[in-house]
Chains A and B, each alone.
Chain A
Amino acid sequence: MAYSDKVLDHYNNPRNVGNLDKKDPNVGTGLVGAPECGDVMKLQIKVNPETGVIEDAKFKTFGCGSAIASSSLATEMLKGKTVDEALQIKNTLIVNELSLPPVKIHCSVLAEDAIKAAITDYKAKSATPATAQTA
């Protein structure tokens, strides 16, 4: 299969690889997928409790190049967004941005799931409702 230039770029220079401290109350962690399915994504966000803005995002992905690119792109999209804005990120946005072919759509779905899982985790941990500050 031929990969789009954008997928190749994220694969070769993945953005925001790494870990945030999952014990930090301002950090939300999402872990989705399963090793038997061939894809596991871990996506973490660090939210400013005052503003509800995502200040940092990190990922680690076990999966195909498109899955790696989807999660790398997701971390870029997340930074600077409020938690509520982040909840609006749809997998189709990732599909379009990376020009993913139909067989790779589920990799972008996984990235959307990872975003949602990270936010759910943050909300569960955080006493501050993250909705208040939305512009």
Chain B
Amino acid sequence: MLKFPIYLDNHATTPMDPRVLEAMMPYFLDSFGNAASRNHSFGWVAEEAVEKARKQLADVIGANSKEIVFTSGATESNNLAIKGVAEMYAQKGNHIITAATEHKAVLDTCKRLEKHGARVTYLPVQTNGLIDLDQLREAITDKTILVSIMYGNNEIGTIQDIPAIGKICKEKGILLHTDATQAVGKVPVNVISDNIDLLSFTAHKMYGPKGVGALYVRRKSPRVQLTAQMDGGGHERGMRSGTLNVPGIVGFGAAAALCQKEMAEESARHAFLRDKLKDKLMAELDETYINGTMEHRLPHNLNISFAYVEGESLLMGINDIAVSSGSACTSATLEPSYVLKALGAGDDLAHSSIRFGIGRFTTEEEVDYTAAKVIDVVRKLRELSPLYDMVKEGIDLSKVEWSAH
């Protein structure tokens, strides 16, 4: 039985897994202690729970417990990694390399550092969404201290070649930070084989609670140092002060353990549902384009543009399904998605894009319903579209003199 609305926006956030909530519950009431209280059992119980979670998080990325720093989420982890490195290694250099398709938590952090004298290179991406490794090599200078490239993209799901990027960084003695928020728990991530020095992730994209995240900070070869961005009691080995969010951390750990345990099966199921959705849409609708490569992609992501149909009007027609669009009309700034623009496909395809994010609780029935509904509404809106008419008449839209406003 279908239940509405259908949630297919799992890149924005995931629902909590009930098993995660269950693991968290005792730490709200009975075991409420402060994990930093060293002299009584309330503190010890809390500390033990935090250390168990730390191990679960380390395990899901192939790290050591001591390399996990708890934060409030991936935004904070990105800030801490990039600002912390820029400040700590200022003597060594002031150049950072990142990419145009990064999350705002990376881009805006870099922009702030630019105001304080850092130099930042924003690598373009190719039409498939991936950076060109030769361009990365060429961008590196003797002042480069950090490369920050995300693992899986939150809009188009493309997976950068992090192991190769890490290898380049290692050869040059430069640190690699990756925002792996969308990738951890969904695809295998391993900080050793992927040559990662710093890695950001967050619980609420992995069926855990909101407001808790972590930063992996490599301790060996090389030992990465950070300048703390939060002053206080010196928690988390001085890297992030503040009383730990014990229930949140317990939930994060439980969520990571579940993802790790179920990853193989879950990612296959997600890819099956995603491909079914894609195949149905592509078979029934002409002039439909996938944004970003299908070859290197998160199994639960589909980002697709329905040419000549504006994204917000499409969302309005499928209002019993929760998805998001790169259309300008849906954004507060009235700018189309900068990620899609970076692919160079033209702004008009960004306006027509829809992002579908399959999740743990998505059913095949929901996917079938969604495909049918989208096909129906796209057809209806194309009947309304002057552009579709013009194209059918054989007019080349790129040659029309538009009265842009």
Contacts and interface: CB of A to CB of B under 8 A. Distances in A.
Interface in A104-120: 106, 109-110, 113, 117
B405 A61 contact: no
A103 interface: yes
B313 interface: yes
A40 B351 contact: no
Contact of B386 (A36, A62, A64, A110): A62
A110 B403 CA distance: 11
Interface stretch (A26-34, A92-100, A126-134): A26-34
Nearest to B315: A65
Contacts of A17: 383-384
Contacts of A67: 310, 313, 329
Contact of B327 (A32, A38, A106): A38
A35 B316 contact: no
Interface string B97-129: 000000000000000000000000000000000
B403 A19 contact: no
Interface in B272-318: 308-313, 316-317
Contact of A14 (B312, B346, B384): B384
A117 B15 CA distance: 49
Given A38-B328, A38-B336, A65 B312 contact: yes
Given A11-B316, A61-B384, A103-B334, A35 B403 contact: no
What is the predominant secondary structure among interface residues of chain A facing chain B? mixed
A42 interface: yes
Contacts of A106: 334, 405
Interface in B206-230: none
Contacts of B313: 11, 63-65, 67-68
B387 A62 contact: yes
Contact of B403 (A33, A60, A64): A33
Interface string A52-88: 0000000011111101100000000000000000000
A39 B313 CA distance: 11
B4 interface: no
B243 interface: no
A27 to B, nearest CB: 15
B194 interface: no
Given A33-B402, A113-B403, 18 more contacts: A11-B317, A32-B403, A34-B403, A34-B404, A35-B402, A36-B351, A37-B405, A41-B386, A60-B384, A61-B384, A62-B385, A62-B388, A63-B310, A63-B313, A63-B329, A65-B312, A68-B384, A103-B334
B353 to A, nearest CB: 11
Contacts of A14: 384
7 contacts: A11-B316, A33-B403, A33-B405, A61-B386, A64-B310, A64-B312, A68-B384
A85 to B, nearest CB: 24
A40 B312 contact: no
A28 to B, nearest CB: 15
B397 interface: yes
Contact of A35 (B312, B334, B348, B389): B348
A63 B384 CA distance: 10
B59 interface: no
B51 interface: no
**Nearest 3 Cβ contacts at the A-B interface:** A34-B402, A38-B351, A42-B386
Contacts of B348: 35-36, 38
Chain A interface: which size bin? 20 to 34
B308 A3 contact: no
Nearest to B351: A38
B399 to A, nearest CB: 12
Given A38-B336, A63-B329, A113 B386 contact: no
Of listed A19, A40, A67, residue having the most chain B CB within 10 A: A40
A3 B330 CA distance: 13
B386 A37 contact: no
B327 to A, nearest CB: 6
B347 interface: yes
B346 A60 contact: no
A95 B332 CA distance: 19
Among B309, B311, B347, the most chain A Cβ lie within 10 Å of the Cβ of B347
Contacts of B402: 33-36, 40
Contacts of B346: 36
B336 A61 contact: no
A48 to B, nearest CB: 25
B310 to A, nearest CB: 5
Contacts of A63: 310, 313, 329
Contacts of B332: 103
B385 A61 contact: yes
B169 to A, nearest CB: 37
